[in-house]
Structure 1
Amino acid sequence: MFDGFDAILLARIQFAFTVSFHFIFPAFSIGLASYLAVLEGLWLKTGKQIYMDLFKYWLKIFAVTFAMGVVSGIVMSYQFGTNWSVFSDRAGPVIGPLMAYEVLTAFFLEAGFLGVMLFGMNKVGKKLHFTATLMVAIGTFISAFWILSVNSWMQTPTGHEIAPNGQFVPGDSWWPIVFNPSFPYRLVHTVISAYLTTAFVVGAVAAWHLLKDRTNAHARKMFSMAMWMAALVAPVQIFAGDMHGLNTLEHQPVKIMAMEGHYDSHPEGAPLILFGIPNSAEKRIDYAIEIPKLGSLILKHDPDAPMDGLDTVPDADEPPVGIVFWSFRIMVGIGFAMMGIGLWSLIARWRKKLYDWTWLHKAALVMGPSGFVAVIAGWITTEVGRQPFTVYGLLRTAESASPLAAPAVAASLIAFIIVYFAVFGVGTWYILKLMGKVPQAGEAGVASTETGPVRTAGIAPGPAQADAPAFTPRPEGAS
């Protein structure tokens, strides 16, 4: 199956496979934890049962997603010692403490309050339960903080010294390591992508149920909230991505050359290559569709600004252009599609047709998995664009791998593929099954049983709600 692959390439494929599986779960759980905090906060503020119904509906999905993220993350981390032991030895004094901080702060915070969030609704007070939900949401953000700090240091290493034995060791202060040059941009871009990923999943689930019954008040509320997120945050993400690109141009110019497909230097302004087929053998983009000088205008805010190309870089230091070129365009294309859906929803909202336009609902349904595709494409752009280095400019990937034979790595890769598709395939199927159920009044909690026609999941109706209907559908077209 893997004849002709060397051990290093197989190790890279294995890490790419496991981290891609892992990444989709935190990308969803980070945004979903915050969404749950918003829903519970709105329930406490307004007293409207619809928010608690949606909270319990998505809490079950969050529990499964969070569990799969933890399991996939633990498995992934073992590869640092098995396939990448040289990298672990050389970079361990820097990345080891940062990853330990993630466990000591984020993971303990999440684990400490997760049980209260999942099972404590009828065991603790409302404010304490809301606090637990907030702590879980904050914990997911802190986890992203530390992991992205580690990854960003590998992209733009600063604040370290190199010991006589070749190890990277901290300098006088940890601050330059933690807040390395690319970290703030990468953190903002990644966290916003997690929020958008969640918004489009929520929007797709709501659209699915609206297509079946546009009067469902719970689906309406979900769809409205998701579309507000798309309309307001997608443009911010495009701006954040542009700022991240300018930072990458400053610190990792070779990656930008690969992303833009600039095999040749352009002393009088570089074009923006929209599409084409990278031809690394001939060092050109075949069938290129380009806009003259727009690349320089975007990257340097001057249409005549010179731009270096890969002709200034030794062949041994070039990343795989074809992969980076297309993954970048997939990510950017999805970002603009998200903004388009958001603008479409604003038009529908303005015309009071947000719940009536079937084609908008169908488009939102199709865009449901788009956030996952975008974050994976973005990750590929970042990581493959860093090649041939693990620590950019300092430690090559070929020098980072463990001294393993190709058959050993191939055997573990095959085992991972089989187990991952079996275990996480079942988990994903169960999540889709939960999403397929219609959100309704009196939604049952994670571990709750109904105790009456109105009192469900340990939540008692207030005095003014005891005899009221669970929800009243709003007139069609209401926003």
Structure 2
Amino acid sequence: MRRSSVVYTRGIFVMENLALSSLDALLLARIQFGFTIAFHIIFPAFSIGLASYLAVLNGLYLKTGKRIYIQTFRFWLKIFAVVFGMGVVSGIVMSYQFGTNWSVFSDKTGPVLGPLMGYEVLTAFFLEAGFLGVMLFGEKRVGPRLHFAATLIVAIGTLISAFWILSVNSWMHTPTGYGMNEQGQFIPEDWLAIVFNPSFPYRFVHTVTAAYLTTAFVVGGVAAWHLLKDKRNRPARLMFSMAMWMALLVAPAQLIIGDLHGLNTLEHQPAKVAAMEGTFEKYENGAPLLLFGIPDMEAETTHYAIGIPYLGSLILTHSLTGEVPSLLDFPKDERPNASVIFWTFRVMVGIGMLMIAVGLAAFVLRLRKQLFDHRWLLRLSVWIAPTGFIAVIAGWITTEVGRQPYTVYGLLKTADSVSPIDAPGVAASLLAFIIVYFAVFGAGTFYIIRKMKHRPSLHEKGVDRGSPDRAAGVTPAASMRPETVIDKASDKRKPRE
């Protein structure tokens, strides 16, 4: 009797240890994936926006013949090459984790997500890789028109890549067009419904717009840094002017896109919205918008809540008395962690509002013809240059933590998606990732910043300096238009805003 009791007790102990080890492995696997994707996501966000910016600069040079456009293009082309390379490397490393740490997820969703990932490689990556060399090294070899075409194709390729990746991610949030086989795998039944799932259009536009804003404020910050040293630096003036136009036009549009995306999330993932709002109460006559608070998942309340009455209902339902979901509407084990996404959501929105304010301030100064004269705006632009990356990461955390406890929303839980791995193995690989990532990508980031510090000029290395427009294949007539008047005594163009 005593022996069986001891065996039984030991059995319980072993089972508890296995459960604890599995829980630790799951948490470590999630941390590892979150760490690697946080590094990865900043590079595509920058390369998507920068590729389009380079295409615009190249197109403007082809149209007008102004040397300033091609020289600004060359300044950012070197930076784009490094950013693109680091994005590819970090993406490949991240994808390996689907086989190492998330093999069950890969097995269950492979019939649906595998082809979509394959389409991204076959269309976007091959397109980018095929024309990237022409874009980087073909300016003096293929002529301006083909060089512009290559630049435009690379920019389109980055957008196609975002299309497929965000379709995959959106399907995990709002799965449609699938069936289930006897092995518990998701089987495609309607590819159009899978690709264009309910949240995909909003997520795609929201993410691409965020990439453009992120790039605009990096470009604006770099330009402002150089203008603080030399207010008459013409390429820097062009960069700053274009960046502030982007802030003025796109930042308010992002606010509208974000609102539409929020309404879509409210329809399909109400628990996520409740966690974002930190709502534990039921408001029958309109919910407030909480500006500050400390959500407590255990106590099921938000401490020190400060809010604006009725504004939460107005934003989410477009009605002062609209009903807003509460976390108490959902079982405890299906509630996203409001302690995290309550704040990440507010960081994202706060940065968006700051971008709108900067765009409006720059527009007012532009109307007064003082865009480059106020050092406070230039200093502010330098300081907020990296905030776009912070907003992108905060938005990603809000999206992905808000989907928990599921990998495929409502159908496949995260705990059922992880590989049968041991916690020590995941911990060792996580430590290796941290060391290697900070070393490699730290060095890459240092190099990028160093290139950004290089003073932009009208004589960036590229075509021959003696006759830049003729060497590039641009006709003299195009380069001698009235708006490109050159002071021959100083060989500098008159500064224009």
TM-score range for the pair, normalised by the shorter chain length: over 0.9
CA displacement 1:108-140 (0-9 Å, x = unmatched): 000010000000001102111111001000000
Stretch of structure 1 that moved more, 307-316 or 178-187: 307-316
CA displacement 1:118-173 (0-9 Å, x = unmatched): 000011021111110010000000000000000000000000001111000101x2
CA apart distance, 1:278: 1.1
Equivalent residues in 2 for 1:301-380, closer than 5 Å: 301-380=318-397
Q: Distance in 1 between matches of 2:307 and 2:268?
A: 25
Could you tell me whether the CA contact under 8 Å between 2:280 and 2:300 is conserved in 1?
Answer: yes
2:117 counterpart of 1:99: yes
Q: How many residues align?
A: 469
Equivalent residues in 2 for 1:33-432, closer than 5 Å: 33-171=51-189, 173-432=190-449
Relative to 1, partners in 2 of residues 1:461 and 1:38: Cα closer, same or farther, differing over 3 Å? closer
CA displacement 1:81-111 (0-9 Å, x = unmatched): 0000000000000000000000000000000
Q: Distance in 1 between matches of 2:465 and 2:84?
A: 30
Provide the residue aligned with 2:32 in structure 1. Answer: 14
CA apart distance, 1:460: 6.8
CA apart distance, 1:266: 1.6
SS at 2:373 equivalent: coil
Could you tell me whether the CA contact under 8 Å between 2:407 and 2:413 is conserved in 1?
Answer: yes
Q: Distance in 2 between matches of 1:274 and 1:130?
A: 47
Given residue 314 of structure 1, which amino acid in structure 2 is its aligned partner? P
Could you tell me whether the CA contact under 8 Å between 1:441 and 1:470 is conserved in 2?
Answer: no
Provide the residue aligned with 2:47 in structure 1. Answer: 29
Relative to 1, partners in 2 of residues 1:461 and 1:127: Cα closer, same or farther, differing over 3 Å? closer
CA apart distance, 1:71: 0.3
Given residue 157 of structure 2, which amino acid in structure 1 is its aligned partner? G
CA RMSD of aligned residues (A): 1.8
Given residue 97 of structure 2, which amino acid in structure 1 is its aligned partner? Q
Given residue 213 of structure 1, which amino acid in structure 2 is its aligned partner? D
Task: Percent identity, please.
Answer: 64
Q: Distance in 2 between matches of 1:263 and 1:96?
A: 38
CA apart distance, 1:4: 11
Could you tell me whether the CA contact under 8 Å between 1:442 and 1:456 is conserved in 2?
Answer: no
Could you tell me whether the CA contact under 8 Å between 2:22 and 2:423 is conserved in 1?
Answer: no
Q: Distance in 1 between matches of 2:258 and 2:183?
A: 38
Q: Distance in 2 between matches of 1:307 and 1:185?
A: 21
Could you tell me whether the CA contact under 8 Å between 1:50 and 1:471 is conserved in 2?
Answer: no
CA apart distance, 1:54: 0.3
Could you tell me whether the CA contact under 8 Å between 2:290 and 2:305 is conserved in 1?
Answer: yes
Relative to 1, partners in 2 of residues 1:82 and 1:470: Cα closer, same or farther, differing over 3 Å? farther
Could you tell me whether the CA contact under 8 Å between 1:444 and 1:456 is conserved in 2?
Answer: no
Q: With the length of structure 1 as denominator, give the TM-score of the two structures.
A: 0.95
Given residue 170 of structure 2, which amino acid in structure 1 is its aligned partner? S
CA apart distance, 1:304: 1.1
CA displacement 1:13-60 (0-9 Å, x = unmatched): 000000010000000000000000000000011100000000000000
Q: Distance in 2 between matches of 1:410 and 1:5?
A: 13
Q: Distance in 2 between matches of 1:164 and 1:398?
A: 21
CA apart distance, 1:456: 9.9
Given residue 389 of structure 2, which amino acid in structure 1 is its aligned partner? F
SS at 2:493 equivalent: coil
Could you tell me whether the CA contact under 8 Å between 2:71 and 2:459 is conserved in 1?
Answer: yes
Q: Distance in 1 between matches of 2:192 and 2:103?
A: 26
Q: Distance in 2 between matches of 1:92 and 1:196?
A: 33
Q: With the length of structure 2 as denominator, give the TM-score of the two structures.
A: 0.92
Q: Distance in 1 between matches of 2:389 and 2:469?
A: 34
2:493 counterpart of 1:472: yes
Could you tell me whether the CA contact under 8 Å between 1:84 and 1:401 is conserved in 2?
Answer: yes
Could you tell me whether the CA contact under 8 Å between 1:388 and 1:397 is conserved in 2?
Answer: yes
Could you tell me whether the CA contact under 8 Å between 1:210 and 1:220 is conserved in 2?
Answer: yes
Q: Distance in 1 between matches of 2:38 and 2:278?
A: 24
Q: Distance in 2 between matches of 1:456 and 1:429?
A: 33
Q: Distance in 2 between matches of 1:470 and 1:136?
A: 34
CA apart distance, 1:306: 2.1
Relative to 1, partners in 2 of residues 1:380 and 1:470: Cα closer, same or farther, differing over 3 Å? farther
Q: Distance in 1 between matches of 2:469 and 2:407?
A: 52
Q: Distance in 1 between matches of 2:271 and 2:250?
A: 29
CA apart distance, 1:471: 3.3
Q: Distance in 2 between matches of 1:403 and 1:211?
A: 56
Q: Distance in 2 between matches of 1:409 and 1:80?
A: 13
Q: Distance in 2 between matches of 1:470 and 1:273?
A: 58
Please list every run of 5 or more consecutive structure 2 residues that lacks an aligned counterpart in the other structure: 1-20, 481-485
CA apart distance, 1:453: 5.0
Provide the residue aligned with 2:3 in structure 1. Answer: none
Could you tell me whether the CA contact under 8 Å between 2:144 and 2:473 is conserved in 1?
Answer: no
